[in-house]
C-alpha cells in the first residue's frame, strides 16, 4: 500500500469483501430495505434479560453468520476488528469472547464499521493476515437508555433526533477473491464546529463528512461522478441536506448520486423515525445487507462509503461540551 | 510484514520509537519512578472544572509533548491511534480534536497503549504512513466515579483492588530511525475465566496475559530468557503472582526477568495503593517514562511489553456478568 495525498491509503492488492451478514430489529425489518437483511429479531430482547445482552447476542450471531457464509473455517480467521456504542464496547467484547479470534477493539462511534473495514484492509494488504472479520452493533433501547432517557419515561423526541438502528453488520475481508475490493481508505480528522445539541447529531457530524469527502477527492484526484454512489453512514435527513449544501459551496455537486444509510433504512413518512437512522449498525447493516448486494449484482460498481461518528458521551454533554464529529471513508470497487 | 505462527505479526522493517512523553498525577510522582516522568499535575483537576476535562488535558499535553520531542512537524504526523477508559473514549477525542491529525479511535481497556503501538507498527511497516502517534490516558478520579463509587462517599477498597493511574503516555513511531524498534506484535484473544469481582482485575486479566505470552513464545520460537525484561501492563501484585504461577505450570519460568507496570509505579509499603496501579496510563506512563529510558540507555535491549485489559463496564457487572480479559504484546528491541 502507499499513502497518497494528505491522508488516503491506496491498496496495492486490494482486499476482497468475501462475505457479509446483517441482523436487524423488528422496526428495521418494516423499513424499505427489509428484503436485504439476513435475519430479524422477534423482539428487542431476543430472549435475553437485558438490552445490552440482546445487542451482544446480535453482534455474535451476525459475526458467526458472516464467517459461515464465507465458507472459511473460523480457525483461519486471523483477527477481528469490532466495536459498538455501549460503554467500554461491551457488546463486542462479550459477543466475541468465545470465538478464539484475536480481538482488536476499535471505537469510532457510528463510524466504527468503516474504521474496521479500513484497518482490516491495511492488515491484509500489508501481509499481516489473510482473513479478517469486521463487525459493529447498536441497539435502539440500550442507546436511548445510555445516551438520552430511559424508554420508560416516554419522552418526546424532537424532529431533528435520529433513531438508533437495532442490529449488527459484519464483513469478512480476504487477501484473495473476486471482489468487491476495498481500494482506498481515507481516515478522518476530528471536526468540531461547536454544535451542542445531542438531538441533532446529523448537523454535528456533517462537517466531518465534508472534510473526509474533500480530502478523499483531493488525495485521489477523483470527483463525485467517479462513483456510482456516495453513501454516508448516519447523517440522516438533516445532516444529508447539510452535506449536500456544504459540498456545493466547495464546488462539488453530489446531489445526483449521494445518499445516507440513515435515510435509506427507514420510511420517513410511515415509520415515525424523525430524522432517520443512526448508530454503528446503521451503516453496518445497510452496507452488509443492501449495498453489498448492489455491488455483487453489479448495480453499483464503485461506491464511496463514509461512516460518520459523534465522539461524545452523556457526561460531556452535561458538562456543556460541544460534539466532535469524525468520518472515515473507504472506496469499494468491483 | 508477515504473520508467523498462529497470531504474531513480524515486521520486516521494524518501526522506530522516535520519542515518548509521560505526564502523571501527584501520587504517581511520589512513587519510585518519579524521575522518569516528564511532568506532574499540581492537583487532580489541573485547572479544569471536571476530572474528565482534566484527563483530556493530560492526554493532549502528553501527545503534543511527544511530537515536540521528536522534532517532527505536526503536519508530518500521518495518523494518530488513541483511546482511554472514559465512556466513548472522550478523553482522547476531546484532546485531539484540534490537532488536525487523522484520528483512529481504539479501545482495549488498559491494553489500549500497546494496541496502539501494534497498529501503528502495522501501518508503518505496510507503507500506510511514516510517522504515527500512539497515546492513551486514565485518571483515578474519573475512573472511580465511572466504574466504582463517587470518591465523595469515601468507600473502603479491598486489598485486591488496584489504583487507576492518573496520567497519559504517548509514543511517536517512525519508519526510519535508530530504534528502539517494534519487531513483533501479538494481538490477544479474549479470555474469560468467569471471575466477577471488579475489585480483583489482576486475577481476571492474568489468564489473558498467559494466553498471549504462550502464543508469543510459540509463534516466535523464543522463550522467556530471550528478553531482558517481560513487562505486563497492570496485573498488579495479585495478578503478577498469578501469572508467574500459571506460566510455571506451562513450563515457563518468568520469575527472574518479569515485572508489572502496576507493581513498578507505586511503593506498596508507603503509598496505600493496595494491589498496585492500573489503567491505560499505567502501561502508558511506565513505558513512555521508565522503560523507554532503559531502552535508550541500553540497560534493556529486548523487552516484551504485554498490556492487559478488562473488557467490562459497570452495567455488565450489575447484570452479573464475568470479566473478559485481553492482553496485547509488542516486542521492542534495540
**How far, in Å, CA of A170 to CA of A20, rounded?**
5
Q: Which residue has the cell 513505558?
A: B287
Q: Are residues A185 and A169 in the same domain?
A: no
Q: Among the three residues B122, B148, B174, which one is the final residue of a domain in this structure? A: B174
Q: Which residues of chain B are within 8 Å of residue A122 when distances are taken between CB atoms?
A: 122-123, 126, 128
DSSP symbols for A74-139: GGG--EEEEEESSGGGHHHHHHTTTS-S-EEEB-BTBTHHHHHHHHHHHHHHHTS-SEEEEEEEE-
CA distances to A77, A213, A253 from A223, in Å: 36, 10, 9
* pLDDT single digits (tens) A2-44: 999 999 999 999 999 999 999 999 999 999 999 999 999 999 9
Q: Is B263 left (phi over 0), alpha (psi -120 to 50) or beta?
A: alpha
Convert the pLDDT of each residue in A198-233 to its tens digit. Answer: 889 999 999 999 999 999 999 999 999 999 999 999
Burial (Cβ within 10 Å: 0-12, 13-18, ≥19) of residue A153? exposed
Q: Band the pLDDT of B3: cuts 50, 70, 90.
A: very high
CB pairs under 8 A between A and B: 188
- Residue pair B172/B17 in contact (Cβ under 8 Å)? The answer is yes
Answer yes or no: do B19 and B148 share one domain: yes
Residues B198 and B135 reside in one and the same domain: no
Determine the pLDDT at residue A157: 87
* Shortest CA distance from A184: residue in chain B: B128
Q: Supply the ipTM of this predicted assembly.
A: 0.98
Contacts of A145 in chain B (CB under 8 A): none
Same domain, A318 and A225: yes
Contacts of A97 in chain B (CB under 8 A): 190-192, 311, 324
Same domain? A12 vs A160:
yes
Q: What is the mean pLDDT of residues A281-307?
A: 98
Mean pLDDT, chain A, rounded, equals: 97
Q: Of B142, B174, B206, which residue sits at a domain end? A: B174
What's the number of CA atoms in the CB half-sphere (13 Å) around residue A216? 28
Q: Using CA atoms, how far apart are residues B95 and B105, in angstroms rounded to an integer?
A: 12
Q: How many CB atoms are closer than 10 A to CB B239?
A: 33
What confidence score (pLDDT) does residue B157 get?
87
Q: Taking a C-beta distance cutoff of 8 angstroms, is the pair B193, B310 a contact?
A: no
**A221 and A133 within one domain:** no
Residue B233's pLDDT is what?
98
Judge whether A198 and A164 are in contact, CB under 8 Å.
Answer: no
pLDDT tens, position by position, B215-232: 999 999 999 999 999 999
Angle, CA of B31, B276 and A93, to the nearest 5°: 130
Could you tell me if B189 and B92 lie in one domain? no
Q: What is the pLDDT of residue A238?
A: 97
pLDDT tens string B56-93: 999 999 999 999 999 999 999 999 999 999 999 999 99
Q: pLDDT per residue over A55-74, tens digit each?
A: 999 999 999 999 999 999 99
Q: Which domain, by its residues, includes B145?
A: 2-174
Q: What is the CATH number of the domain that holds B165?
A: 3.40.47.40
What's the number of domains chain A is made of?
2
pLDDT, tens digit (0-9, with 9 covering 90-100), for B241-272: 999 999 999 999 999 999 999 999 999 999 99
Nearest residue, CB atoms, A311 vs list B90, B192, B315: B90
Task: Inform me whether the pLDDT recorded for A324 exceeds 90.
Answer: yes
- The pLDDT value recorded for residue B198 is 87
Number of H helices and E strands in chain A, helices first, is 11, 15
Using a CB-CB cut-off of 8 Å, the residues of chain B touching A99 are 189-190
> Alpha-carbon distance B29 to B167, whole Å?
10
What does the pLDDT read at residue B241?
A: 98
Domain co-membership, A46 together with A143 = yes
Q: Is the model's pTM score more than 0.90?
A: yes
Residue range A134-173, pLDDT digits in tens: 999 999 999 999 998 889 998 888 999 999 999 999 999 9
- Tell me, what's the pLDDT at A150? 86
Percentage, residues of chain B above pLDDT 70: 100
Do A162 and A212 share a domain, yes or no? no
Residues B243 and B322 in one domain: yes
Counting residues of chain A whose pLDDT is more than 90, the rounded percentage is 96
Strand A229-232 to A258-260 pairing: parallel
Dist CA B269 CA B31 (whole Å)? 11
Q: What is the pLDDT of residues B280-302, one digit of tens each?
A: 999 999 999 999 999 999 999 99
- Assess whether pLDDT exceeds 90 at residue B150: no
Site from A15, A81, A113, A316 to mutate, B interface, most B CB atoms within 10 angstroms: A316
Can you give the pLDDT at residue A313? 95
Q: Looking at the partner chain, which of B97, B106, B192 has a beta carbon nearest the beta carbon of A106?
A: B106
Residues A279 and A227 in one domain: yes
| Same domain for A165 and A240 | no
pLDDT tens across A188-200, in order? 999 999 999 988 9
Question: d(Cα A302, Cα A229) in Å, to the nearest integer?
Answer: 7
> What is the model's pLDDT at position A191?
98
CB contact under 8 A, A97 and B125: no
Q: How far out from the chain centre does Cα B13 lie?
A: 24
Which pLDDT value is given to residue B247?
Answer: 98
Instruction: Pick the last residue of a domain from B174, B196, B224.
Output: B174
Amino acid at each position: 500500500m502507499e499513502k497518497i495525498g494528505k491522508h488516503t491509503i491506496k491498496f496495492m492488492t486490494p482486499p476482497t469483501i468475501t462475505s457479509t451478514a446483517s441482523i436487524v430489529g423488528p422496526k428495521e425489518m418494516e423499513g424499505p430495505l427489509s428484503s436485504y437483511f439476513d435475519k430479524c429479531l422477534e423482539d428487542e430482547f431476543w430472549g435475553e434479560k437485558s438490552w445490552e445482552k440482546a445487542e451482544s447476542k446480535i453482534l455474535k450471531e451476525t459475526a458467526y453468520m458472516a464467517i459461515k457464509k464465507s465458507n472459511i473455517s473460523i480457525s483461519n480467521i486471523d483477527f477481528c476488528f469490532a466495536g459498538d456504542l455501549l460503554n467500554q464496547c461491551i457488546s463486542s467484547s462479550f459477543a466475541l469472547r468465545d470465538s478464539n479470534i484475536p480481538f482488536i477493539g476499535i471505537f469510532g462511534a457510528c463510524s466504527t464499521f468503516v474504521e474496521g473495514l479500513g484497518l482490516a484492509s491495511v492488515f491484509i494488504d500489508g501481509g499481516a493476515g489473510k482473513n479478517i472479520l469486521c463487525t459493529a452493533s447498536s441497539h435502539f433501547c440500550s442507546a436511548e437508555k445510555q445516551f438520552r432517557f430511559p424508554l420508560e419515561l416516554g419522552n418526546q423526541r424532537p424532529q431533528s433526533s435520529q433513531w438508533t438502528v437495532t442490529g449488527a453488520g459484519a464483513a469478512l475481508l480476504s487477501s484473495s477473491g473476486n471482489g468487491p475490493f476495498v481500494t482506498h481508505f481515507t481516515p478522518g480528522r476530528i471536526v468540531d464546529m461547536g454544535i451542542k445539541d445531542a438531538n441533532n447529531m446529523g448537523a454535528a457530524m456533517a462537517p466531518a463528512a465534508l472534510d473526509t469527502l474533500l480530502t478523499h477527492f483531493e488525495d485521489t484526484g477523483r470527483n463525485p461522478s467517479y462513483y456510482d454512489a456516495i453513501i454516508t453512514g448516519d447523517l440522516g435527513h438533516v445532516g444529508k441536506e447539510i452535506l449536500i449544501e456544504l459540498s456545493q459551496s466547495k464546488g462539488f455537486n453530489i446531489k445526483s448520486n449521494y445518499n445516507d444509510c440513515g435515510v435509506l433504512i427507514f420510511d420517513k413518512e410511515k415509520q415515525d423515525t424523525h430524522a432517520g437512522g443512526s448508530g454503528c449498525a446503521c451503516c453496518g447493516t445497510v452496507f452488509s445487507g443492501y449495498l453489498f448486494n448492489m455491488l455483487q449484482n453489479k448495480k453499483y460498481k464503485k461506491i464511496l462509503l463514509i461512516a460518520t461518528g459523534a465522539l461524545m458521551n452523556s457526561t460531556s454533554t452535561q458538562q456543556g461540551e460541544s460534539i466532535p464529529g469524525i468520518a472515515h471513508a473507504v472506496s469499494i470497487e468491483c
